[in-house]
């Protein structure tokens, strides 16, 4: 993409990230020009209400229709920071159709509708840059796409949502129950008024889908991902896990074996000594294994005004130097991933069952496990509580299907006082 001395951009959205970008463009103007040999000129800033007083670049014009900037021939790059999948999708499509490259932080749009937009960018020989869409300030897109291009990526797993990680950290550090920790996260601005995307795992799933695309050059449909959030985690589970030497984290995980990709977002138990277990608060961390580099660990702020704006600005500057491509693969349309069946996935398990205080309960449960070829590694019985006696099991490796069938049979016996809690165990270094 040939650019003039000044790169002319249109900025859609002046929320948390957009305001941070405006601040960086002002404060880091000299560094930007030193690294690129060019200046960035903001012609438009699109907001919902132009009557609200805002701090914008002195050369910029406030508008309330972002599609106008996609029609202006002087604008070379559209920076989309409005979020959502409707107006944002229309804006990006129109910008690409009109010959403008795009920088976005919109993981939901790219995860759910990205194939069409990536293909359009390739067709038009334009850039669709999205570093800020995955893990905020952590440069994971650039790392996988370029720095690790000479590797076969074997596995990717990590903490991809700062809100959920903050909640679990509060529950772990202070024994706080989920509802109280969520309210604290909302009060501090880590969680939205409607936290569904974060706590139910969908935000992490959006990011995991993009990481799969980068790592293996395949299209893994977002709707095919197995997703479980953190709503049913209690302080009791966190305490039991700690007593067994584990921490509970919400992880996005993907790996390729024999050309099949296994992927999921779910709470898992990981050893308390593992690096990921020590990632607390609103931070993100990603663990990548490649056949040449071995194990890499990336850690940093996963959200926030300036950290995310830093990733956006990095993409803009890459476009200024003509060194960005969307995925790192030469084919325009990536093939559909060969997806492993979730029910065939194998792991050890943590189970907590609240049972009636009657004779023979443990015998009956052990019998059901044996029927489904599930081997028990450890069992702990705790003191009776209001809703029953907690029985905690750690199992040896078994399939998701075997565990699901065993739990269904246990529930059918009516020996439980409430729904069972089951989390996979991931043995990490």
CATH class of 6-133: alpha beta
Catalytic site residue from 43, 107, 207, 249: 207
- Which DSSP symbol is given to 388? B
Instruction: Give the pLDDT confidence score for residue 258 in this predicted structure.
Output: 84
CB 397: neighbour CB atoms within 10 A? Answer: 12
Instruction: Give the pLDDT confidence score for residue 6 in this predicted structure.
Output: 87
Instruction: Give the pLDDT confidence score for residue 396 in this predicted structure.
Output: 97
Q: Of 264, 262, 268, which is closest to residue 230 (Cα–Cα)?
A: 268
Instruction: Give the pLDDT confidence score for residue 314 in this predicted structure.
Output: 92
- DSSP E strands: which ranges in 119-175? 128-129, 153-159
**For this structure, is 207 an active site residue?**
yes
Q: Of 289, 253, 280, which is closest to residue 423 (Cα–Cα)?
A: 253
What's the whole-model pTM score?
Answer: 0.91
Per-residue H/E/C for 208-227: HHHHHHHHHCCECCHHHCEE
Instruction: Give the pLDDT confidence score for residue 332 in this predicted structure.
Output: 61
Instruction: Give the pLDDT confidence score for residue 126 in this predicted structure.
Output: 92
Tens place of pLDDT per residue across the chain (429 aa): 444 578 999 999 999 899 999 999 999 999 999 998 899 999 999 999 988 888 899 999 999 999 999 999 999 999 999 999 999 999 999 999 999 999 999 999 999 999 999 999 989 999 999 999 998 889 999 999 889 989 999 999 999 999 999 999 999 999 999 999 999 989 888 888 899 999 999 999 999 999 999 999 999 999 999 999 999 999 999 999 999 999 999 999 999 988 899 999 999 999 999 999 999 998 999 999 999 999 999 999 887 888 889 999 999 998 888 766 777 777 667 889 999 998 999 999 999 999 988 888 999 999 999 999 999 999 998 888 777 889 999 999 999 999 999 999 999 998 888 899 999 999 877
Q: Are 75 and 12 in contact (CB under 8 A)?
A: no
Instruction: Give the pLDDT confidence score for residue 146 in this predicted structure.
Output: 87
Phi, psi angles (nearest 5°) of residue 227: -130, 130
Instruction: Give the pLDDT confidence score for residue 140 in this predicted structure.
Output: 94
Q: Are 92 and 117 in contact (CB under 8 A)?
A: yes
- DSSP E strands: which ranges in 281-373? 283-290, 294-301, 346-355
Phi, psi angles (nearest 5°) of residue 46: -95, 125
140-301 belongs to CATH 3.30.360.10:
yes
Instruction: Give the pLDDT confidence score for residue 382 in this predicted structure.
Output: 80
Instruction: Give the pLDDT confidence score for residue 188 in this predicted structure.
Output: 84
Q: Are 117 and 300 in contact (CB under 8 A)?
A: no
Q: Which residues contact 264 (CB under 8 A, 6 or more apart)?
A: 225, 226, 227, 228, 252, 253, 342, 345
The rounded distance, in Å, linking the Cα atoms of 316 and 241 is: 44
DSSP labels for 80-113?
E-S-SSSHHHHHHHHHHHTT-EEEE--HHHHHHH
Instruction: Give the pLDDT confidence score for residue 137 in this predicted structure.
Output: 85
Superfamily holding 342-425: ACT domain (3.30.70.260)
- Domain residue extents for the chain: 6-133, 140-301, 342-425
């Amino acid at each position: 993409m040939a650019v003039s001395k000044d790169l002319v951009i249109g900025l859609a959205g002046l929320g948390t990230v957009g305001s941070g970008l405006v601040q960086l463009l002002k404060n880091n103007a000299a560094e930007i020009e030193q690294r690129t040999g060019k200046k960035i000129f903001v012609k438009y800033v699109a907001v919902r209400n132009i009557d609200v007083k805002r701090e914008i670049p002195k050369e910029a014009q406030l508008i309330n229709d972002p599609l106008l900037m996609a029609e202006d021939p002087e604008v070379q790059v559209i920076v989309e920071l409005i979020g959502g999948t409707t107006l944002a999708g229309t804006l990006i499509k129109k910008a690409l159709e009109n010959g403008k490259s795009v920088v976005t932080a919109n993981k939901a749009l790219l995860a759910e509708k990205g194939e069409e937009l990536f293909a359009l960018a390739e067709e038009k020989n334009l850039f669709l840059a999205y570093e800020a869409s995955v893990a905020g300030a952590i440069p994971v897109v650039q790392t996988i796409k370029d720095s690790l291009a000479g590797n076969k990526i074997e596995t990717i797993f990590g903490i991809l949502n700062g809100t959920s990680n903050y909640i679990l950290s509060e529950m772990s550090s202070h024994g706080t129950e989920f509802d109280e920790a969520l309210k604290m996260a909302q009060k501090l601005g880590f969680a939205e008024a409607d936290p569904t995307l974060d706590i139910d795992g969908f935000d992490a799933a959006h990011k995991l889908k993009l990481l799969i695309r980068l790592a293996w050059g395949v299209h893994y449909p977002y709707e095919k991902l197995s997703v479980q959030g953190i709503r049913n985690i209690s302080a009791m589970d966190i305490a039991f896990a700690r007593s067994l030497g584990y921490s509970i984290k919400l992880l996005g995980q993907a790996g390729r074996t024999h050309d099949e990709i296994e992927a999921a977002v779910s709470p898992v138990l990981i050893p308390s000594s593992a690096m990921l277990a020590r990632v607390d608060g609103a931070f993100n961390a990603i663990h990548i294994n490649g056949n040449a580099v071995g194990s890499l660990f990336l850690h940093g702020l996963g959200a926030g005004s300036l950290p995310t704006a830093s990733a956006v600005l990095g993409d803009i500057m890459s476009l200024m130097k003509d060194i960005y491509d969307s995925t790192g693969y030469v084919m325009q349309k990536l093939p559909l991933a060969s997806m492993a069946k979730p029910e065939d996935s194998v792991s050890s398990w943590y189970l907590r069952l609240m049972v009636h205080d009657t004779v023979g309960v443990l015998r009956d449960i052990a019998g059901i496990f044996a029927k489904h070829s599930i081997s028990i590694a450890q069992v702990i019985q705790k003191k009776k509580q209001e809703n029953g006696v907690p029985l905690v099991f750690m199992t040896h490796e078994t399939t998701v299907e075997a565990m699901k069938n065993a739990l269904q049979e246990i529930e059918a016996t009516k020996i439980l006082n409430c729904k069972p809690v089951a989390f996979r165990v991931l043995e990490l270094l």
